[in-house]
Structure 1
Amino acid sequence: MSPRTKSMRCHDWINTLLPEEIVLEIFRRLDSKHTRDACSLVCKRWLSLERLSRTTLRIGASGNPDFFIHLLSSRFPNIKTIHIDERLSISLPSQLGRKRRKSGSSYFKLHSVFQEDMPEAEQFDSYCLSDLGLITLSDQFPALERLSLIWCSNVSSLGLVSLSLKCSLLKSLDLQGCYVGDGGLAAIGRCCKQLQELNLRFCEGLSDVGLVELAEGCSKSLKTLGVAACAKITDKSLVAVGSHCKSLETLSLDSECIHNDGVLAVAKGCPLLKVLKLQCINVTDDALIAVGKYCSSLEALALYSFQRFTDRGLCAIGAGSKKLKNLTLSDCYFLSDQGLGSIATGCKELTHLEVNGCHNIGSVGLEAIGRSCTRLTELALLYCQRIGDNALHEIGKGCKFLEALHLVDCSSIGDDAICSIAKGCTNLKKLHIRRCYEVGNKGIMAIGDNCKSLADLSLRFCDRLKYSSPDHLRYPSFFPLGLHKPYLLFPHALVDLSMLIELFCFCWHNHNEHHELPVTVGDEALVSIGQCHSLQTLNVSGCHQIGDAGIIAVARGCPDLSYLDVSVLQNLGDMALAELGEGCPALKEIVISHCRQITDVGLSHLVRNCAMLESCHVVYCPGVTAVGIATLVSGCPNIKKVLVEKWKVSERTKRRAGSVISYLCIDL
């Protein structure tokens, strides 16, 4: 190699020729934080430029708010969006001290002084953002536009007043779970005239006084308002919003203190309303009739737990809100096919529909949707016992653009319905089915044969077993695990209640239904799904007839698979894990809990080739020992979470990877 060639290779052409403006623009166009962080480590110049280009910060609980916010402001001067979530845990100052003591970091010194002679309760409070931190934040980031303070319980009106005075350009404020008072909210209304979004969920310290003054101050700018579990906010606040905030587009209400008057005022005073979400047990049809009459721009409507709401209100929505695209009906017991039929007739642009626990809605209403709403792209039916195969047959015929289908506890929907969806909705990308015991191999095989774009498939507890012995009825909730007495299941541990609930519902249905031929989802179905080469997410937990053959077919046909849940599969063995390791190098998360045939051998084959694996659940796998867990944490450089029994983790593994080990069970 010539000296000139060596010189050219060693020359820093990028930093010499590219000005800072170009490099900054490159950093702004990088949409991945991981990529941005990697690029910032190239050299000091790139590190400083990346910090200049960053506009968003996400922060968990912080040790010393004043110092922490000041430190961030010196490194990232152009921040416009800050998310602070106190639910995210942090390392204790003592841990930070052990890591940084050698370098003589001022961070450790400050925490040491801050914590000295402090009572334990006050030390805990010091980890949370307080008014002092919020005041510092407003001083250091005067150009702030978006701020989220999630469950920052130590923030009060004092901090909000400082924020309003310094950050007058604020456009979005999320105060979820903050116990702030009316004075702070009123100050935001007086000073932040550009505020567009406000979230007041679980702000128990607020009343009508603060919200009324904010509505008056931000009357020209406010577009989005969310209120939930605020007992002191009543119709008076909504009347003020309806009177002043003519540009309001989104309203979310969850309150027992809101009645018809408040919703009526918003409906009449906010003609630009596009999104309305209501969980208000005291609101009746009269309010919904007003929404249908005055809110012609309405695009999304969600109604939760309406006890006094009937077809009369839903018919008004269908007659007036012609632009409606998204409709959610949850636990609205007095709605029937008539109301859903009115939506189908009047709202031709409907794209998303969710019906959850509305027991009077049957096949007739959904058939009308299939015939009229041809633009439907997502359908969710949860706990709809009266909706049968005919309804989905019409959906398959009329809704050719359907991309997502969710079915939970729909006992009257079976293979014929799924076959109709598969043949008519070939663009289907997401299919979630849970506890629909009439769905078996036939329907899922049709999905695999026709829906080649399928990327997300979940078949949870879609299995009906045939039993003959009356002994099996004695302990139905735990029998599928191969156990005959409930106390033998987990004798020394507390277990995940969600898993037990799933098992109970699954087994109770199986043991109280008797059929000559069992309807199951087995290996034949997954062999067909193996043809869907775009599959990225697969959940077949509780489908007991699935074994090695089905998972091997998926492993060989779906190289982009990144998430897999095969928990409670009693016939799954090491061969399937070996094939997954060979065929699915992109796998990041796997759940193999309650798989009795899995051993350390299969686990070692899996981790040998799945270098991207980040999460693994291996609870109650008797064939997996401490050796397998050690192999898992040592063979996966990107591992972040391993869920396992405590007694299977050796002391050496704890020392090596204690931070990634999680224990589901707690010794009694």
Structure 2
Amino acid sequence: MMTFSPEKQDPDPPLKRWSDLWLKNKKSLDQVVFAMKLQSFPKPPLTNLKPEPDKTLVFDRPKLVADRTSLLSDELLLQILSKMPKSQRNSNFLVSKRWLNLQGRLVRSLKLLDWKFLVSGRLFVRFPNLIHVDLVNGCVVSPRNSGILLTHKMVSLHIDSHVSSIEFLPENRILSVDEVDSGLKSLASGYPNLRKLMVVSASELGLLSVAEECPTLQELELHRCSDQVLRGIAACQNLQILKLFGNVDGLYVSLVSDIGLTILAQGCSRLVKLELSGCEGSYDGIKAIGQCCQMLEELTLTNHRMEGGWLSALSYCENLKTLKFQSCKRIDSDPGLDEHLGSCPALERLHLERCQLRDKRSVRSLFLMCETVREIVFQNCWGLDNDLSSIAGTCRRVKFLSLEGCSLLTTQGLESMLLSWKELQRLRVVACNNIKNGEVTPALSILFSSLKELMWRPDTKSQLLSNLAGTGMGKKGGRFFKKI
């Protein structure tokens, strides 16, 4: 018979948890691990056995790995992260400091908002492999505490009440030329493989440093550009796309004239795309571009300030395929005689967006030069009426026509233009309120039925399908009708 004294405590109180029991019998656990290790060893042959001295076997317990991706190399992890969608890739930097650095190595394009991030050198450490850098917003000094936000197609900035009636970006709102040039020099030395650059108020020396250090630069966008600045891009041997912003109404004032266009033409002979926004010039400047830049395929003129007679110089652009006019108040104030105009034999596309087309003479000269065009786009142009539609009929090789926001054009004018184009295959009519469904003639219905693609929405009440019942529209082979 056993007796228990209430004053004497139990030396081994009962364990409350399985984990305590597991750790309590540590000696037993080591014996189990030892037995498992012995079973995993290959058994020696039964013959020629020699006794070996006793050896103490030490078995290390496997350590838990907190971050399993640490077992992967940087190169392998970079390949995995690069396969992720961009929408999910941006949040990877929150995982760890290592992922932050790896994510920075995957970034190729960046819009700089703080200039100090560039001059301090943190940009190169954080994003070492950039090939596309936008410095436009970083070059602008704007008050952060202002509640007035100015948004332009190229920049968005805060402004205060102390602005000029001529320009919203006066001298004190843009970094000095020395600061911009110093930043460009650091950028060029840090990114020798730079391919695209956008900058405001740079000088000739700043662009020269970029041209010398970045031989692969292919695209350049210069805001607040001038004739003297264009001397710096002559060293850009492989430049293919160039956008020049001279005078931008309400934003800033600058000047690009025939002098700058001639310097540009002589220095950038490999240009493929050229955009001139707010630039002045004349026949001589455009002629120099056509003669020197023989690889030029696309020319865009935005709010140009060209002198009269410049239009005929386009005939020197022998390989020009796309010609665009955007926000132009006029095409050419004095185009001259028809026999002096010439033509663009390789031109395929003519786009006019938000342009004034009230000067019938200049528009007529434009279409005479573009008689070989295959695609014509009118978007929110003022002055496009039935008279101009008959002028556009001179381009008899048109295969695609897009009309949007042409409120003066009627159904009769559209019909006279379309019936003269025997090769028309695609038609798009949107927001042209004077074009009525009830005025569609049988001849126009037959033309619609032969098109490969048709988007018909002259107004919000258009119901073309009911008016074309019985014409077989959309039932012939691969032809289809698109209605939105």
TM-score range with shorter-chain normalisation?
Answer: 0.5 to 0.7
Deviations 1:321-354 (CA, angstroms, capped at 9, x unpaired) = 2x326455722457433234455x4212x15334
Look up the match of 1:257. Answer: 306
Counterpart amino acid of 1:64?
K
Look up the match of 2:429. Answer: 379
Look up the match of 1:185. Answer: 230
Structure-2 separation of matches of 1:208 and 1:91: 33
CA 1:417 to 1:31, structure 2 compared with 1: closer, same or farther past 3 Å? same
SS at 1:134 equivalent: helix
Look up the match of 2:391. Answer: 339
Look up the match of 1:170. Answer: 217
Contact 1:341 1:365 in 2 (8 A): no
Counterpart amino acid of 1:194?
N
User: 1:155 and 2:202 equivalent?
Assistant: yes
Counterpart amino acid of 1:135?
K
User: 1:72 and 2:132 equivalent?
Assistant: no
Contact 1:131 1:158 in 2 (8 A): yes
Contact 1:197 1:224 in 2 (8 A): yes
SS at 1:181 equivalent: coil
Look up the match of 1:401. Answer: 453
Structure-2 separation of matches of 1:402 and 1:422: 16
Look up the match of 2:274. Answer: 225
Contact 1:327 1:353 in 2 (8 A): yes
CA 1:256 to 1:141, structure 2 compared with 1: closer, same or farther past 3 Å? same
Look up the match of 1:267. Answer: 315
CA 1:316 to 1:123, structure 2 compared with 1: closer, same or farther past 3 Å? closer
Structure-1 separation of matches of 2:403 and 2:291: 32
Structure-1 separation of matches of 2:67 and 2:316: 64
User: 1:245 and 2:275 equivalent?
Assistant: no
1:602-617 alignment, distance < 5 Å? none
User: 1:43 and 2:96 equivalent?
Assistant: yes
Deviation at 1:266, TM superposition (A): 2.7
User: 1:330 and 2:377 equivalent?
Assistant: no
Look up the match of 1:195. Answer: 239
Contact 2:140 2:173 in 1 (8 A): no
Look up the match of 2:132. Answer: 81
Structure-2 separation of matches of 1:125 and 1:327: 36
Counterpart amino acid of 1:296?
A
Structure-2 separation of matches of 1:396 and 1:71: 60
Structure-1 separation of matches of 2:404 and 2:138: 30
Counterpart amino acid of 1:143?
N
CA 1:391 to 1:195, structure 2 compared with 1: closer, same or farther past 3 Å? farther
Contact 1:138 1:163 in 2 (8 A): yes
Look up the match of 1:654. Answer: none
Structure-1 separation of matches of 2:74 and 2:232: 40
CA 1:268 to 1:299, structure 2 compared with 1: closer, same or farther past 3 Å? same
Counterpart amino acid of 1:186?
R
TM-score (norm 1): 0.48
Structure-1 separation of matches of 2:340 and 2:197: 34
CA 1:89 to 1:207, structure 2 compared with 1: closer, same or farther past 3 Å? closer
Contact 1:223 1:248 in 2 (8 A): yes
Deviation at 1:15, TM superposition (A): 4.8
Look up the match of 1:23. Answer: 77
CA 1:352 to 1:227, structure 2 compared with 1: closer, same or farther past 3 Å? same
Contact 1:340 1:366 in 2 (8 A): no
SS at 2:320 equivalent: coil
Aligned with residue 56 of structure 1, among 109, 112, 122 = 109
Contact 2:297 2:322 in 1 (8 A): yes
Structure-1 separation of matches of 2:469 and 2:323: 32
TM-score (norm 2): 0.63
Contact 1:390 1:417 in 2 (8 A): no
Deviation at 1:379, TM superposition (A): 3.0
List alignment gaps of at least 5 residues for structure 1: 1-6, 96-120, 408-412, 427-449, 455-668
Deviations 1:92-111 (CA, angstroms, capped at 9, x unpaired) = 7899xxxxxxxxxxxxxxxx
Contact 2:273 2:299 in 1 (8 A): yes
CA 1:386 to 1:405, structure 2 compared with 1: closer, same or farther past 3 Å? closer
Contact 1:366 1:391 in 2 (8 A): no
Contact 1:363 1:391 in 2 (8 A): yes
CA 1:286 to 1:386, structure 2 compared with 1: closer, same or farther past 3 Å? farther
Contact 1:374 1:401 in 2 (8 A): no
SS at 2:360 equivalent: coil
Look up the match of 1:296. Answer: 346
Structure-2 separation of matches of 1:8 and 1:421: 77
Structure-2 separation of matches of 1:38 and 1:166: 33
Deviation at 1:386, TM superposition (A): 6.0
Structure-2 separation of matches of 1:50 and 1:288: 59
Deviation at 1:307, TM superposition (A): 4.0
List alignment gaps of at least 5 residues for structure 2: 1-61, 147-169, 248-253, 475-480
CA 1:182 to 1:317, structure 2 compared with 1: closer, same or farther past 3 Å? closer
CA 1:405 to 1:158, structure 2 compared with 1: closer, same or farther past 3 Å? farther
Give the fraction of aligned pairs with identical amino acids, expressed as a percent: 22
Q: Aligned-pair RMSD on alpha carbons? A: 4.6
SS at 1:139 equivalent: helix
Contact 2:206 2:232 in 1 (8 A): no
Deviation at 1:133, TM superposition (A): 2.4
Counterpart amino acid of 1:305?
Q
Structure-2 separation of matches of 1:64 and 1:24: 28
CA 1:90 to 1:37, structure 2 compared with 1: closer, same or farther past 3 Å? farther
SS at 2:325 equivalent: strand
Contact 2:384 2:406 in 1 (8 A): no
SS at 1:182 equivalent: coil
SS at 2:426 equivalent: coil
Deviation at 1:76, TM superposition (A): 1.0
SS at 1:175 equivalent: strand
Deviations 1:539-560 (CA, angstroms, capped at 9, x unpaired) = xxxxxxxxxxxxxxxxxxxxxx
Deviations 1:150-205 (CA, angstroms, capped at 9, x unpaired) = xx3x53344333333333322111113x2x4333211212x101111111123523
How many positions carry a matched residue from both structures? Answer: 380
CA 1:342 to 1:292, structure 2 compared with 1: closer, same or farther past 3 Å? same
Contact 1:200 1:228 in 2 (8 A): yes
Deviation at 1:57, TM superposition (A): 0.4
Contact 1:377 1:403 in 2 (8 A): yes
